[in-house]
Every structure is written in C-alpha cells, then in structure tokens.
C-alpha cells in the first residue's frame, strides 16, 4: 500500500466536481491543490492533482475540476479542468 498524498477518510469519487487553486504549470498542464471536504472531521484539506491544460493561467487562479483518475503510486490525482472562476467582472 502506498501514500495517496491525502487522508483516506476524505472521500472523492470519479466525476466529482471539486474546487481547486493553481499552484504551478508546465508544458503539459496544471498542478492544482484541490479543496476536498473531510466529512468525518468537518474540515477541508488540500490534495495535489494534475490536469492537462494548454493555456496559461497565473498561480493562485481558482478552477473547478472533475476527478478522472484516483492517485496512484508516484502520481497525483488526474483531473479535467472544467472552468476557471473569475473574481473580477469581465469587460463588455
């Protein structure tokens, strides 16, 4: 058994929609910290994830992700980036 990088009591399922914050980017995609709720302790924990993305996003951008694959040995959770959360109003 290996360490998944998060508390195993924090349950996540495939296709769950989870908010996250971009913590870095490479040529292939985004490194994201997911905010996963822990129902047992009533608190949230940050879980590392990776999502393929070709555009540029600054560090700290909030995104909504769907979980595609659970974490494996040496790999983060694989997510798809569904949308970007814009705090400011967009110009018309």
- Comparing 22-26, 28-32, 37-41, 66-70, the range with the smallest average pLDDT is 37-41
Q: What is the DSSP string of the chain?
A: ----SS-TTS---TT-EEEEEEEEE-SSEEEEEEEEEETTTTEEEEEEEEEE--S---TT-EEEEEEEE--BTTBPEEEEEEEEE--SPPP-
User: Residue 87 has what pLDDT?
Assistant: 73
pLDDT at 72 over 50: yes
Distance between CA atoms of 61 and 25, rounded to whole angstroms?
Answer: 11
> Is the pTM value of this prediction over 0.75?
no
pLDDT at 51 over 90: yes
71 pLDDT band (50/70/90 cuts)?
confident
Mean pLDDT taken over the chain: 79
């Amino acid at each position: 058994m290996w360490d998944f990088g998060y508390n195993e009591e924090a349950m996540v399922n495939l296709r769950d929609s989870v908010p996250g914050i971009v913590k870095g980017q490479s040529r292939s995609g985004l490194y994201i910290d997911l905010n996963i709720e822990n129902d047992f302790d009533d608190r949230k924990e940050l879980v590392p994830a990776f999502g393929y993305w070709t555009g540029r996003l600054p560090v700290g951008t909030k995104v909504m992700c769907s979980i595609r694959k659970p974490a494996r040995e040496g790999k983060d959770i694989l997510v798809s980036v569904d949308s970007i959360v814009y705090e400011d109003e967009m110009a018309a």
